[in-house]
Amino acid sequence: MTIDANEIVMQIDGDAIVTQLPPGYRFVPTDEELILFYLQNKVCFRPLPCEAVKDINANELYSNPPNTIVNFTLADNKKEWYFFIHQNKYQKEAEKNQTVRERNDARIGSFGFWTALENYEERVRKVGNGIGVWRSAGKKDPIYDNNGKVFGFKIQFIYFSATTNGYKKTHWRMEEYHLSTTCSNGDQEKEDLVLGRITRGRYYT
């Protein structure tokens, strides 16, 4: 491994990895680029083009409101942040809750109710102890490659903060990117992983 004098480009096993963007450059990838060059490479243990996407555990992400997850100041012009969201612990907790629901369903015979509840929980992700929720319409938007084949999809969320009168819609948004394909050429797959893009609007709380 070698690093150049400016510590901007790192060489790992012959692959050039950009560790920081030079002044004047902005990280503005398309949906296709996020899936193809970042999420897919991360999942399959391949080198990333640069270190612009940070790692975060889903438990941490869903324990705090977005304005404490990202780093910015009011004078900062930055409006987008990117994360590799490791879902293993979060998913295990969701699977445990699913098992509890199935047991309750078998005991009280209320399949229709629990099915509706599961669909609801797919669209609503509680933050902390109810300080807020990420809400989605539940729609999965497909992402196509140049040949018109779907190789990923994204789900859009809006953050609502808790108030004394319920939940208030905020200007925080999150797009969650998922792979719909598996690794090729025998690459080993990582744990369940998605890529999240969090954006802020005019208001920050």
- CA dist 196 to 15, 24, 32, Å? 25, 24, 14
In this prediction, residues 67-72 reach a mean pLDDT of 83
Q: Enumerate the domain spans of the chain.
A: 2-199
Placement of tokens 């560790």 in the chain: 19
Res 62: pLDDT: 92
The answer to whether the pTM exceeds 0.75 is: no
**Fold for the domain defined by 2-199:** 2.170.150
Q: Which helix (H) or strand (E) holds 104?
A: helix 88-108
Q: What's the CA gap between 180 and 141, in Å, rounded? A: 12
Half-sphere exposure of 138 (CA within 13 A, CB side): 8
Res 26: pLDDT: 72
Instruction: List, for residues 18-36, the tens digit of each pLDDT value.
Output: 556 656 567 789 999 999 9
Res 122: pLDDT: 60
Q: Do residues 190 and 43 lie in contact, with contact meaning Cβ atoms separated by under 8 Å?
A: yes
Query: Lowest-pLDDT range, 10-19, 143-152, 173-182?
Result: 10-19
User: With pLDDT > 90 as the criterion, what percentage of the chain qualifies?
Assistant: 36
Q: What's the CA gap between 197 and 53, in Å, rounded? A: 9
Query: Lowest-pLDDT range, 1-10, 49-58, 139-148, 169-178?
Result: 1-10
